[in-house]
């Protein structure tokens, strides 16, 4: 949301620091054989997708076998798939095993060419079927590697109290070294590759490889199945269907070429099927939807700064934006095909008696207006960029325009259609969101009636409001935002970590877990906060 301000303010630093080699390296991955651990994803009651990377000799694809067992010691494994690790996919390999038992824990490993060439052993679990007494999710977002250590990943792997993890995007960041963060703010030992921005498929490969060398991320993937979706930084900042803020066609080629490269690398490196959206039934307890609110059908974000610059004066320009663009009923975030698919699946799930419908998607759905006097929160020594943003946002707020038009707030008609559909099918809706780097709990309403709840997760490492409002106590920032937004029930604007969500027939309980500062590797918690929604209530209870 405010990320662009921090980058703009530091462009002069980035220009000098982008080529610097920072001291110390992330733990180096092996250069041959099994280099980046194992992973599983796309869970179903009787199937699972498995992933690994094996760098072979020469340029010929390397033959691999996938072995599965219900025994942690893999004493009697059975071969369930054969495939190859191919250099045209950066030596990554995947295979889907079918005919599995619902709700069963499996252990797996890959074997390569040669005697006793084996990967580490991973663990996964199929989705349950029928009546389910409870199910636990770990939810993550926004893990910028140079900003710090992945303490959220490490804690979740060690706590071992989830059934699968959901990543809502910004799994990697596309910037060159020294841009976000700048060279002075980057944490020693957290060096990304390549040194420049990710443009080509090979660039994205190297960026994923540097992230996946992290031991805590490898441990998380090895212990739990994953459901993942991209946000903008897997491609470029503030992306939409036909472009991005952080893409320059004159120097970086066409948007279509970059988008295709980013998607191809994502499907090479992540344990996910190459479809932009999908659903996962958790018995009769819930349906989890993996959505794409970023590029599949998104119309371009409204740019208030550009509108104000076009004149003729600020208020006239903002009124024109409000009336002619923001309130337009045809603006899309999901896109028509995905929206139709989701609405149809919501009806099917409700008819099937599933208690919860959970949307795993990228951006905040709850309404967020800038509070009166927000410019004072920045203090007298705020950067000109932050002060200018707050001033423009405060003026927009007086006209009813929210502060973050990159989120669902920028697409009110699309949000109204979705929440209206949840009301029509009379479902218990839970929305998961990332992207903002901070933690939020929202009641979701449509036409002043309850429509669902939202649990928005703080980042794993990426900086939040505390970076921009350095002199304002975080509690004061959260309090001011809550006072201006009645449906915002709770917020934390200063801490990193992840979300633990427990689904049960009677309720859904979210626990925001706050990790130790990410400047050092310390996978432990410093605090937590809970919120709960009872089945059928569609209103949050905090604490």
User: How would residue 7 be classed by pLDDT, with cut points 50, 70 and 90?
Assistant: low
User: How would residue 24 be classed by pLDDT, with cut points 50, 70 and 90?
Assistant: very low
Has residue 12 got a pLDDT over 50?
no
Distance (Å, rounded) from C-alpha 211 to C-alpha 36? 10
Distance (Å, rounded) from C-alpha 392 to C-alpha 13? 26
Q: Are 424 and 515 within one domain?
A: yes
Last residue of a domain, one of 102, 126, 150: 126
Segment 197-221 mean pLDDT: 98
User: How would residue 27 be classed by pLDDT, with cut points 50, 70 and 90?
Assistant: low
Q: Are 110 and 192 within one domain?
A: no
Q: Are 86 and 215 within one domain?
A: no
Q: Are 57 and 176 within one domain?
A: no
pLDDT score for 4: 66
> What tens digit of pLDDT does each residue of 224-263 get?
999 999 999 999 999 999 999 999 999 999 999 999 999 9
Global confidence as pTM: 0.95
Count the neighbouring beta carbons within 10 Å of the beta carbon of residue 228: 21
Note whether 125 and 49 are within 8 A (CB): no
In a domain, 115, yes or no: yes
Residues shown for the chain: 543
In a domain, 424, yes or no: yes
In a domain, 402, yes or no: no
Segment 290-299 mean pLDDT: 98
Segment 170-178 mean pLDDT: 98
Alpha helices by DSSP H, 224-254: 249-252
111: Cβ contacts below 8 Å, ≥ 6 apart = 64, 65, 67, 117, 118, 119
Note whether 362 and 168 are within 8 A (CB): yes
CATH number at residue 159: 3.60.21.70
Q: Are 84 and 226 within one domain?
A: no
User: How would residue 311 be classed by pLDDT, with cut points 50, 70 and 90?
Assistant: confident
Distance (Å, rounded) from C-alpha 71 to C-alpha 438? 40
> What tens digit of pLDDT does each residue of 46-104 get?
999 999 999 999 999 999 999 999 999 999 999 999 999 999 999 999 999 999 999 99
Segment 208-229 mean pLDDT: 98
Q: Please give the C-alpha separations between residue 202 and each of 198, 261, 262, 307, in angstroms, as whole numbers.
A: 8, 8, 9, 37
> What tens digit of pLDDT does each residue of 437-483 get?
999 999 999 999 999 999 999 999 999 999 888 889 999 999 999 99
Percent of the chain with pLDDT over 70: 95
User: Could you list the residue range(s) of the whole structural domain that residue 219 is in?
Assistant: 3-33+136-299+343-371+411-542
Q: Which two tokens stand for residue 435?
A: 């992207």
In a domain, 336, yes or no: no
Last residue of a domain, one of 126, 157, 174: 126
Last residue of a domain, one of 126, 152, 171: 126
* Cα angle 252, 256, 258; round to 5: 45
Has residue 394 got a pLDDT over 60?
yes
What phi and psi values does residue 535 have, to the nearest 5 degrees? -55, 130
Has residue 428 got a pLDDT over 80?
yes
Q: Are 177 and 233 within one domain?
A: yes
> What tens digit of pLDDT does each residue of 259-282 get?
999 999 999 999 999 999 999 999
Segment 136-147 mean pLDDT: 98
User: How would residue 334 be classed by pLDDT, with cut points 50, 70 and 90?
Assistant: very high
> What tens digit of pLDDT does each residue of 505-518 get?
999 999 999 999 99
In a domain, 441, yes or no: yes
- Mapping DSSP to helix (H, G, I), strand (E, B) and coil, where does residue 172 land? coil
pLDDT score for 14: 29
Alpha helices by DSSP H, 312-383: 314-321, 336-351, 374-377
pLDDT score for 16: 27
Q: Are 100 and 184 within one domain?
A: no
Can you say whether residue 468 is alpha, beta or left, with left for phi > 0 and alpha for psi between -120 and 50 degrees? alpha
534: Cβ contacts below 8 Å, ≥ 6 apart = 506, 507, 541
CATH number at residue 105: 2.60.40.380
pLDDT score for 25: 43
pLDDT score for 380: 78
Distance (Å, rounded) from C-alpha 433 to C-alpha 99? 33
Number of domains in the chain: 2
pLDDT score for 21: 29
Note whether 97 and 80 are within 8 A (CB): yes
In a domain, 325, yes or no: no
Q: Are 113 and 183 within one domain?
A: no
CA 315 to chain centre: 35
In a domain, 187, yes or no: yes
Alpha helices by DSSP H, 399-473: 412-425, 465-468
| 50 bridge partner residues | 40, 95
Distance (Å, rounded) from C-alpha 377 to C-alpha 364? 22
Distance (Å, rounded) from C-alpha 505 to C-alpha 511? 17
419: Cβ contacts below 8 Å, ≥ 6 apart = 429, 444, 445, 446, 451, 452
Q: What is the mean pLDDT of the chain?
A: 93
SS (H, E, C) 88-138: HHCCEEEEEECCCCCCCEEEEEEECCCCCCECCCEEEECCCCCCCCCEEEE
Spatial CA neighbour of 215 closest among 190, 193, 178: 190
In a domain, 165, yes or no: yes
| 111 bridge partner residues | 65, 118
> What tens digit of pLDDT does each residue of 407-419 get?
999 999 999 999 9
Note whether 408 and 363 are within 8 A (CB): yes
Distance (Å, rounded) from C-alpha 488 to C-alpha 366? 7
Q: Are 503 and 444 within one domain?
A: yes
pLDDT score for 142: 98
Spatial CA neighbour of 27 closest among 226, 188, 196: 188
Distance (Å, rounded) from C-alpha 355 to C-alpha 534? 11
| 69 bridge partner residues | 107
pLDDT score for 59: 93
Alpha helices by DSSP H, 444-525: 465-468, 474-484
pLDDT score for 468: 86
pLDDT score for 384: 81
pLDDT score for 2: 55
User: How would residue 10 be classed by pLDDT, with cut points 50, 70 and 90?
Assistant: very low
Distance (Å, rounded) from C-alpha 307 to C-alpha 259? 27
Q: Are 220 and 144 within one domain?
A: yes
312: Cβ contacts below 8 Å, ≥ 6 apart = none
Has residue 165 got a pLDDT over 70?
yes
Can you say whether residue 538 is alpha, beta or left, with left for phi > 0 and alpha for psi between -120 and 50 degrees? left
Q: Are 217 and 276 within one domain?
A: yes
Spatial CA neighbour of 437 closest among 212, 221, 222, 232: 232
Has residue 111 got a pLDDT over 60?
yes
Has residue 11 got a pLDDT over 80?
no
Sheet holding 278-282, edge to edge: 278-282, 286-290, 356-360, 428-433, 449-456, 439-446, 488-492
Q: Are 222 and 178 within one domain?
A: yes
């Amino acid at each position: 949301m405010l990320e662009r301000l921090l980058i703009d303010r530091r462009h002069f630093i980035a220009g000098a620091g982008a080529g610097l080699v920072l001291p110390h390296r992330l733990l180096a991955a092996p250069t041959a054989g099994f280099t980046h651990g194992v992973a599983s994803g796309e869970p179903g009651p009787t199937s699972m997708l498995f992933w690994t990377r094996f760098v072979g000799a020469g340029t010929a694809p390397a033959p691999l076998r996938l072995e599965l067992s219900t025994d942690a010691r893999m004493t009697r494994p059975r071969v369930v798939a054969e495939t190859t690790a191919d250099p045209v996919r950066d030596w990554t390999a995947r295979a889907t095993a079918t005919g599995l038992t619902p709700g069963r824990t499996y252990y797996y490993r890959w074997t390569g060419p040669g005697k006793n060439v084996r990967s580490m052993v991973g663990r996964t679990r199929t989705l349950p079927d029928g009546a389910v007494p409870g199910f636990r999710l770990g939810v993550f977002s926004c893990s910028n590697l140079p900003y710090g250590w992945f303490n959220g990943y490490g804690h979740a792997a060690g706590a071992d109290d989830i059934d699968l993890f959901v990543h809502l995007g910004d799994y990697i960041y596309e910037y060159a070294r020294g841009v976000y963060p700048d060279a002075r703010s980057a944490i020693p030992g957290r060096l990304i590759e390549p040194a420049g921005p990710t443009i080509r498929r090979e660039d994205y490969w190297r960026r994923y490889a540097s992230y996946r060398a992290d031991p805590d991320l490898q441990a998380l993937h090895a212990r739990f199945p994953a459901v993942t979706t991209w946000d903008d930084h897997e491609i470029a900042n503030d992306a939409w269907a036909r472009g991005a803020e952080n893409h320059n066609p004159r120097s970086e080629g066409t948007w279509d070429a970059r988008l295709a490269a980013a998607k191809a690398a994502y499907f090479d490196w992540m344990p996910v099927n190459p479809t932009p959206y999908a659903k996962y039934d958790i018995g009769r307890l819930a349906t989890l939807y993996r959505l794409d609110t970023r590029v599949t059908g998104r119309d371009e974000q409204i740019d208030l700064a550009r509108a104000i610059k076009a004149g003729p004066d600020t208020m006239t320009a903002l009124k024109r934006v409000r009336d002619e663009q923001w309130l337009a009923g045809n603006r899309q975030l999901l896109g028509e095909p995905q929206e139709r698919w989701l609405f149809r699946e919501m009806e099917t799930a409700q008819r099937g008696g599933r208690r919860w419908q959970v949307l795993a998607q990228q951006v905040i759905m709850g309404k967020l207006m800038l509070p009166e006097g927000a410019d004072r929160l920045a203090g007298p020594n705020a950067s000109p960029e932050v002060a200018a943003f707050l001033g423009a946002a405060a003026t927009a707020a007086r006209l009813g325009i929210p502060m973050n038009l990159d989120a669902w707030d920028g697409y009110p008609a699309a949000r109204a259609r979705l929440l209206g559909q949840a009301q029509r099918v009379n479902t218990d809706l839970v929305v998961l969101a990332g992207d903002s780097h901070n933690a939020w709990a929202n009641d979701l309403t449509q036409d002043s009636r309850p429509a669902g709840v939202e649990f928005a997760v703080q980042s794993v490492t990426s900086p939040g409001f505390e970076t921009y409002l350095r002199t304002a106590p975080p509690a004061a920032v959260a309090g001011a935002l809550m006072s201006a937004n009645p449906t915002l029930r709770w917020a934390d604007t200063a801490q990193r970590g992840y979300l633990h969500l427990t689904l049960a027939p009677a309720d859904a309980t979210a626990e925001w877990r706050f990790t130790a500062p990410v400047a050092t590797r310390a996978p432990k918690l410093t605090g937590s906060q809970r919120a709960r929604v009872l089945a059928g209530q569609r209103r949050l209870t905090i604490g």
